């Protein structure tokens, strides 16, 4: 009974420490944001030596930006633009990620194909994506698909290279033992290659979320009638600095929300992976 009680106490202690560490981390993150906003407000509103370090005409103020964001959501004008950017970003993310995963696995399983096509993959990856935006607009028009195509080019290579490397990192000893035990190629794919690539894949997906949104917003910025990129471009065109910053903050919150969903999926699929604290012992 004493041993059991001791183990329960240890478990409760670890749980308490875990909760407190997460809470402390959240508080520190919020503190950074609060300090940054306060400094922004200070430098744009209080003259230092007779001069404002951040002129409001060029940097706006946190109050003006917050007022603009609240106005957008209260009036409902932002929802249409958010929805269009969301659709474009999700399509670019899904298509680019699936293509990167499938082709990355295929290249890793076909060394000859990977060797032959390697210079062409590097050549296409080196192309500036902004240069492709007008071409996609010419091919696919100013609708959502030109933005999706631009986002796919940004997402694909990030996922592709990570999945390819993840499969290539499988230990030869593990593969040899699995084959010696009679595992088929299908079983190897499921129980060896796939788990090895998952960590690499989700690492790339977190980065790809931002790039999918970047592709959609840049496409909207260069030519569109709706979307967050369009909102930012219109505000910039009339020197509405508060509108530009408000659009960027909404966009940042938008990306964090999508990344949070990817994190939840990652935790569900990588439940077998040991926690960082466990790997130290």
Same domain for 250 and 116, yes or no, is: yes
The span from the CA of 99 to the CA of 152, in Å, is 9
Same domain for 170 and 246, yes or no, is: yes
Domain that holds residue 156: 61-280
The stretches in the chain having pLDDT less than 70 are 1-20, 171-172, 174-176, 185, 190-191, 196, 269-281
Same domain for 93 and 162, yes or no, is: yes
pLDDT of residue 156: 92
Residue at which a domain ends, from 59, 77, 98:
59
The span from the CA of 43 to the CA of 144, in Å, is 40
> Which residues neighbour 216 within 8 Å (Cβ) at sequence distance 6 or greater?
85, 88, 89, 92, 147, 148, 150, 151, 227, 229
Same domain for 7 and 131, yes or no, is: no
pLDDT of residue 277: 45
User: Closest by alpha carbon to 147, among 73, 72, 96, 206?
Assistant: 96
Residue at which a domain ends, from 37, 59, 81:
59
Same domain for 1 and 115, yes or no, is: no
Enter the tokens of residue 265.
């999926």
CATH value at residue 213: 1.10.3720.10
Q: Are 146 and 140 in contact (CB under 8 A)?
A: yes
Domain count, the chain: 2
| DSSP class per residue in 20-44 | HHHHHHHHHHHHHHHHHHHHHHHHH
């Amino acid at each position: 009974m004493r041993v059991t009680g001791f183990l329960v106490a240890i478990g409760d202690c670890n749980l308490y420490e875990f909760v407190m560490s997460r809470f402390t981390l959240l508080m520190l993150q919020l503190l950074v944001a609060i300090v940054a906003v306060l400094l922004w407000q200070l430098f744009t509103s209080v003259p230092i030596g007779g001069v404002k370090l951040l002129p409001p005409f060029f940097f706006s103020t946190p109050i003006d930006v917050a007022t603009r964001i609240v106005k957008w959501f209260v009036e409902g004008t932002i929802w249409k633009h958010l929805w269009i950017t969301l659709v474009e970003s999700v399509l670019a993310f899904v298509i680019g990620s699936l293509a990167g995963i499938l082709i990355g696995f295929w290249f890793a399983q076909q060394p000859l194909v990977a060797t032959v096509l390697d210079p062409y993959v590097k050549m296409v990856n080196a192309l500036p994506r902004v240069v492709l935006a007008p071409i996609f607009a010419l091919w696919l028009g100013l609708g959502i698909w030109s933005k999706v195509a631009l986002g796919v080019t940004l997402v694909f290579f990030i996922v592709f290279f990570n999945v390819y490397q993840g499969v290539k990192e499988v230990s030869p000893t593990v593969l040899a033992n699995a084959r010696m035990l009679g595992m088929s190629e299908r079983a190897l794919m499921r129980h060896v290659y796939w788990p090895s690539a998952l960590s690499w894949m989700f690492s790339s997906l977190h980065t790809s979320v931002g790039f999918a949104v970047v592709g959609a917003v840049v496409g909207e910025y260069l030519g569109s009638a709706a979307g967050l990129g369009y909102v930012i471009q219109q505000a910039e065109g009339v020197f509405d600095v508060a509108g530009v910053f408000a659009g960027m903050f909404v966009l940042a919150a938008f990306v964090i929300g999508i990344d949070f969903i990817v994190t939840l999926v990652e935790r569900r699929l990588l439940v077998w992976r040991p926690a960082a604290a466990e790997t130290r012992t």
